[in-house]
Chain A
Amino acid sequence: MTFLAWKTALLLAGVAVPLLLLLYFLKLRRREHTVSSTLLWKRAVHDLQVNAPFQRLRSSLLLLLQLLFLAAVLFALAHPVADFLEKPPQNIVLLIDRSASMKTLEPDGRPRLAHAKDAALDRVAGLPEKSRAMVISFADRAAVVSTFTDDRRRLRRLIEDIEPTDAPSRIGEALQLAVAYSVHAVGEHGPDGSAAVAPAGGDAAGGGPAGAAAAAGAAQAEVEVYSDGRLEDVPEETAVPIVLRYIRVGAASDNVGLVGFGLRRDFEQPGLLAVMAQVRNFGPEAVAADLSLSIDGTPISGPGGVREVRLAPAAADSSVRPPAASDPPTAETVLFEIIHEGGGVLEVRWHREDALAADNLIVAPIDPPREPRVLVVSDRPAVRALLLRGLASVGVSRVEALSGEEYAAAPEGRLTRDGRLAFDLAVLDRIDTGRLPPGDYLFFGGLPRVDGVARGELVEDQPVVAWREDHPLVRWVPFEGVYVARWSRLTLPEGALALAEGEDSVVLALLTDPGHRYLLAAFDLADTDLLSRPAWPIFLQNVVTAAVGAGLVEAARRVTPGDTLTVPVPPGATRARVYRPDGATDTLEVADRQSIPYARTQEVGFYRVVFDDPAGTEERFAANLLSPVESWVAPSEALAVGGRAVEPFTGVVRVNRPLWPWLAGAGLLLLMAEWWVYHRRVMI
């Protein structure tokens, strides 16, 4: 048996035992006895007190019981633990999931995260004195709550301070951090005092297994994951062998969540708003409830705004991965079509209380419909005419055409408005330019003068072999019928997205940076038959739609909780206030910046960014969960890491089983006995 808090107990004993003895002397209840004279008795007592520093304690059952009671309490406070159980690790990393699913209300009314924290606190409390623990919380990102420390009080405080988020759960980064810190910690505090050679985290592979094995041979860190196991990522096996334990938390499974959402204005009838919401039942019971639509808090009445949805119970599934969102009959997609000419905030709400509330609401900012404006810059009249015709064919009527020289010489006020490009899209034909106000650009044969973009040799006689069919810009564009005679081999910065490729080079690429979106066609329009192919109007439609948001309304302003917002800064603004869904406000300094990032989007809901420019510009964003993984709140049977499933740890986690409850019980019994003896004596 060892004592985890023997110092505390010793300190209290130093105070309590003398106090008890003092009380014993002061508070003794005495029997009355009449004597002929107290003269000699007083002298005797006085003599004893004078001659002895302490009056010897008379053997007293009461005092014995009280001392035993005190001893039991002090032993309990010393936090004794039985050491016949498994020896605990020296270093332990606690990964605490704080993703959206950890907000699930358990049957006892407490959120799942509270249970996870309780389990982690118990674990910390049960650690022997020399052990050290590290705490990492994770959702979409990992955060080191505490590095390795043996300060248990600090660990308790930091664990208790962990707050839940609405962000999805990704454990990969947290595991890498845990491994990195563990290797470092073992190196620092290994038994032989030598530094470990294993590199940290994902770079551990470079260090080789030898270093990892050396570290593992020492006081190897163990990683315990306190989670419901609902992870969006499947982390790779770590190069450093670690002991991974999955502490499954939670029991609630009744949840219906909104897992899909789409919002589109009809291109020909912009006032017609199509809203698609997919709702899915993850619980074991069949459910029926209303799905409603409202704009600016006003419900849309009638069948166009409210639908009753009946969902079958989710099938019992013990696999690690959640079922596909389209699995019938547990999910249903509901389409609302309403006429709404203005802007506002659209809400889709699922009217049923379940374990997780974060996935019962979708919010989306919508702007009034507007007609797209396109700038065409070309020095070739024929190409310019073809471009104007193509734009007209997809319904774009507000088109302005400039030559390259005119574009370069155009006054700032003609090209820009509020610090951004005054057009929804600029199409540049064989123009290389560095005049690029924030906005959307489509380059044919030309390139923007930005870092990392360069033109190489020509590629000839190669077909377009692949394209991203799922990307909105090239969706449904039949590239298989398009012939491109030659194109330039492009050098692109990291992060550029190839939308169409030849055998070894990029034909069409998307490059984005804050405020800009460049769609780069590596070919000249004169070297392709694209303009005469059915693919052309479709491609043009996609590009215009993406640029003006006429189809997917404000898709860029809907994010997943935890994502970073990029907010363009209007001219004249020096400060921005961000109003969060929880009512809190953040103030950001934005002077002399084109755009500002904002990452505190941990909660689902509506975010308003209000600038202090003369126009009082306001940008609106919405964070929605829309995650089948998070909505599937039933705890996972296993944790998938690197292709293997870690079963929930049900073994002897209770290392150092605390003995204080037994001692507290013994103390109570002793107290009762003392009470009985006391009254018995008084009655005598």
Chain B
Amino acid sequence: MAETPAVTSRVRSGDSLLDPDFMARLERLEIVSRKIHSSRQKGERQSKRKGESAEFADYRNYVVGDDIRHIDWNIYARLEKLFLKVFLEEEDLNVTILLDASASMDAGQPSKLLYAKRTAAALGYLGLCDLDRVNLYAYNDRLTVWLDGLRGRRMIARLIQFLQDIQPSGKSHFAAAARQFAMRHTQKGVAVILSDFFDKGGFESGLRYLAGRRLDLYAIHLLSPQELEPDLAGDLKLVDCEDEDVAEITVSRPLLDRYRANLRAYCESIRDYCHRRGMVYLMVPTSRPFEGLILHYLRQRGLLR
């Protein structure tokens, strides 16, 4: 589908998120759902569910009640047995992106929020290009802004604008936001969480709310290089940018070692939690080139194809 010049120019205005070359390379990809979803509308996407599209999938024996229009009469003529042609059903995919917009996402160099916005923009762009239904939610301790039901390329500019308007603020409370999301969003589909998961209330409750919705969940854990390898020294009073909580430390090698071990353990705990519930966990350092993330890393992890 060709894009209109107006849309192109508006998309170009969001250069900080996506550039045209990258957008062109994205068009060869699509978002993959590992689950069979029932959608209200037929889409362009082949579903794993056998259905009524024109693409043949298999044969099966006729049973009473089957639509007789799908009986293969040629086979009946040769074998005098009724076989039914089974076609792959094409479905409409809901792509939902949950974007952590708490204050902590503004930290890091490059900013985790920018990185998340670019990732969301890329995934949203892919969804819109594939005529998927794209939903965007930003949250901190609740859902702050959302944009749902986008479909079609003409919505790209709106999507970009929406993402650009998101500002980091507030304290993160993933569980409350996820609960609110779960009550509001009842559709199945692919859900991608972009967050640093620095939530003192814990990540488990929030993920549990989402898992209950039977979504095909991808948790993308964004961490800045400064969080992975802190370049701190001396006697410091660390101030939490969200709740201004204070931690007094004297930076030493044992302390840094302990911090790294704790970070690894924290990531492992999220990964384990996700795996046990059929979610995909991806830890992404923001130092990783964004294009590589989309074009290679997410493809390797099965989110894109």
- Are A and B bound to each other? yes
A interface list, Cβ under 8 A from B? 28-45, 47-48, 52, 55-56, 58, 60
A33 and B266 contacting across the interface, CB-CB below 8 Å: no
B238 contacts the other chain (Cβ, under 8 Å)?
Answer: yes
Besides the contacts A29-B235, A37-B242, what 11 more A-B pairs have beta carbons closer than 8 Å?
A28-B250, A32-B239, A33-B239, A34-B240, A35-B107, A35-B238, A36-B241, A37-B198, A44-B249, A48-B254, A58-B252
B247 and A41 contacting across the interface, CB-CB below 8 Å: yes
- List B contacts of A35 (CB < 8 A): 107, 238-241
Q: What 0/1 readout, one digit per residue, does chain B (174-200) give for beta carbons within 8 Å of chain A?
A: 000000000000000000000010101
Of B152-160, B255-263, B289-297, which binds chain A?
B255-263
Instruction: Give how many B residues have a beta carbon under 8 Å from the other chain's beta carbons.
Output: 35
B237 and A38 contacting across the interface, CB-CB below 8 Å: no
- List A contacts of B104 (CB < 8 A): 36-37
B interface list, Cβ under 8 A from A? 104-105, 107-108, 112, 196, 198, 200, 224, 227, 232, 234-242, 245-252, 254-255, 258-259, 262-263, 266
A34 and B239 contacting across the interface, CB-CB below 8 Å: yes
Q: Which of B246, B248, B263 has the most CB of A within 10 A?
A: B248
Which chain B residue has the least Cβ–Cβ distance from A55?
B250
- Give the docked Cα–Cα distance between A34 and B240 (Å): 6
Offer 23 A-B interface pairs, CB within 8 angstroms, sorted by A.
A30-B248, A31-B234, A31-B235, A32-B236, A32-B237, A33-B236, A33-B238, A36-B196, A36-B240, A36-B242, A37-B242, A41-B238, A41-B259, A42-B247, A43-B262, A44-B255, A44-B259, A45-B247, A45-B255, A52-B254, A55-B250, A55-B252, A56-B254
- Give the docked Cα–Cα distance between A52 and B105 (Å): 33
- Give the docked Cα–Cα distance between A52 and B253 (Å): 14
B200 and A33 contacting across the interface, CB-CB below 8 Å: no
Cβ distance A517 to chain B, nearest Cβ, rounded Å: 93
B224 and A36 contacting across the interface, CB-CB below 8 Å: yes
- Give the docked Cα–Cα distance between A56 and B257 (Å): 14
Residue of B239, B246, B251, B262 near A40 (CB, 8 A) is B262
- List B contacts of A55 (CB < 8 A): 250, 252
- Give the docked Cα–Cα distance between A21 and B250 (Å): 14
A38 and B232 contacting across the interface, CB-CB below 8 Å: no
Cβ distance B243 to chain A, nearest Cβ, rounded Å: 9
- List B contacts of A42 (CB < 8 A): 245, 247
Residue of B227, B240, B249, B258 near A47 (CB, 8 A) is B258
Cβ distance A59 to chain B, nearest Cβ, rounded Å: 9
B250 and A58 contacting across the interface, CB-CB below 8 Å: yes
Cβ distance A40 to chain B, nearest Cβ, rounded Å: 5
- List A contacts of B198 (CB < 8 A): 36-37, 39
- List B contacts of A33 (CB < 8 A): 232, 236-239
- Give the docked Cα–Cα distance between A45 and B237 (Å): 12
Cβ distance A9 to chain B, nearest Cβ, rounded Å: 30
- List B contacts of A34 (CB < 8 A): 107, 238-241
Cβ distance A99 to chain B, nearest Cβ, rounded Å: 65
- Give the docked Cα–Cα distance between A41 and B198 (Å): 12
- Give the docked Cα–Cα distance between A567 and B178 (Å): 113
- Give the docked Cα–Cα distance between A28 and B235 (Å): 8
A47 and B235 contacting across the interface, CB-CB below 8 Å: no
Q: Which of A29, A40, A52, A56 has the most CB of B within 10 A?
A: A40
A38 and B246 in contact (CB under 8 A), knowing A28-B235, A32-B239? yes
Which chain A residue has the least Cβ–Cβ distance from B256?
A44
Cβ distance B2 to chain A, nearest Cβ, rounded Å: 42
Which chain A residue has the least Cβ–Cβ distance from B246?
A38
Cβ distance A533 to chain B, nearest Cβ, rounded Å: 112
- Give the docked Cα–Cα distance between A111 and B105 (Å): 81
Q: Which of B104, B196, B249 has the most CB of A within 10 A?
A: B249
A40 and B252 contacting across the interface, CB-CB below 8 Å: no
- Give the docked Cα–Cα distance between A617 and B180 (Å): 115
- Give the docked Cα–Cα distance between A43 and B264 (Å): 13
- Give the docked Cα–Cα distance between A37 and B249 (Å): 14
- Give the docked Cα–Cα distance between A353 and B39 (Å): 122
A41 and B234 in contact (CB under 8 A), knowing A36-B107, A48-B254, A48-B255? no
Cβ distance A552 to chain B, nearest Cβ, rounded Å: 90
- Closest 3 interchain pairs by CB? A37-B198, A36-B107, A36-B104
- List A contacts of B259 (CB < 8 A): 40-41, 44
- Give the docked Cα–Cα distance between A34 and B242 (Å): 10
B238 and A38 contacting across the interface, CB-CB below 8 Å: yes
- List B contacts of A60 (CB < 8 A): 235
Cβ distance B44 to chain A, nearest Cβ, rounded Å: 40
Cβ distance A522 to chain B, nearest Cβ, rounded Å: 105
Q: Which of A36, A47, A56, A60 has the most CB of B within 10 A?
A: A36
A38 and B235 contacting across the interface, CB-CB below 8 Å: no
- List A contacts of B238 (CB < 8 A): 33-35, 38, 41
- Give the docked Cα–Cα distance between A678 and B238 (Å): 20
- Give the docked Cα–Cα distance between A39 and B199 (Å): 8
Residue of B112, B236, B239, B258 near A44 (CB, 8 A) is B258
Q: Which of B104, B234, B250 has the most CB of A within 10 A?
A: B250
A48 and B241 in contact (CB under 8 A), knowing A33-B232, A41-B249? no
A31 and B237 contacting across the interface, CB-CB below 8 Å: yes
- List A contacts of B241 (CB < 8 A): 34-37
- List B contacts of A31 (CB < 8 A): 234-237
- List B contacts of A30 (CB < 8 A): 234-237, 248
- Give the docked Cα–Cα distance between A117 and B197 (Å): 78
- List A contacts of B251 (CB < 8 A): 58
- Give the docked Cα–Cα distance between A538 and B159 (Å): 148
Cβ distance A406 to chain B, nearest Cβ, rounded Å: 113
Which chain A residue has the least Cβ–Cβ distance from B106?
A36
- List A contacts of B234 (CB < 8 A): 30-31
Residue of A28, A44, A56, A58 near B262 (CB, 8 A) is A44
- List A contacts of B108 (CB < 8 A): 36
- Give the docked Cα–Cα distance between A38 and B266 (Å): 13
Q: Which of A32, A35, A40, A45 has the most CB of B within 10 A?
A: A35
- List B contacts of A44 (CB < 8 A): 249, 255, 258-259, 262
- Give the docked Cα–Cα distance between A30 and B246 (Å): 11
Which chain B residue has the least Cβ–Cβ distance from A52?
B254
- Give the docked Cα–Cα distance between A32 and B112 (Å): 22
- List B contacts of A45 (CB < 8 A): 247-249, 255
Q: Which of B227, B236, B251, B266 has the most CB of A within 10 A?
A: B236
- List A contacts of B107 (CB < 8 A): 34-36
Q: Which of A42, A44, A45 has the most CB of B within 10 A?
A: A44
Which chain A residue has the least Cβ–Cβ distance from B172?
A37
- Give the docked Cα–Cα distance between A44 and B258 (Å): 5
Cβ distance A37 to chain B, nearest Cβ, rounded Å: 4
Cβ distance A476 to chain B, nearest Cβ, rounded Å: 100
Which chain B residue has the least Cβ–Cβ distance from A51?
B258
Q: Which of B196, B247, B254 has the most CB of A within 10 A?
A: B247
- Give the docked Cα–Cα distance between A38 and B198 (Å): 9
Which chain A residue has the least Cβ–Cβ distance from B266?
A40
- List B contacts of A43 (CB < 8 A): 262
Cβ distance B177 to chain A, nearest Cβ, rounded Å: 17
- Give the docked Cα–Cα distance between A42 and B108 (Å): 19
- List A contacts of B240 (CB < 8 A): 34-39
Cβ distance B221 to chain A, nearest Cβ, rounded Å: 13
- Give the docked Cα–Cα distance between A43 and B248 (Å): 12
Q: Which of A41, A47, A58 has the most CB of B within 10 A?
A: A41
Cβ distance B29 to chain A, nearest Cβ, rounded Å: 31
- Give the docked Cα–Cα distance between A28 and B237 (Å): 10
- Give the docked Cα–Cα distance between A60 and B258 (Å): 21
- List B contacts of A48 (CB < 8 A): 254-255, 258
Cβ distance A27 to chain B, nearest Cβ, rounded Å: 11
Which chain A residue has the least Cβ–Cβ distance from B196?
A36
- List A contacts of B239 (CB < 8 A): 32-35, 38
A36 and B236 contacting across the interface, CB-CB below 8 Å: no
- Give the docked Cα–Cα distance between A56 and B250 (Å): 10
- Give the docked Cα–Cα distance between A39 and B235 (Å): 18
B227 and A36 contacting across the interface, CB-CB below 8 Å: yes
Cβ distance A682 to chain B, nearest Cβ, rounded Å: 11
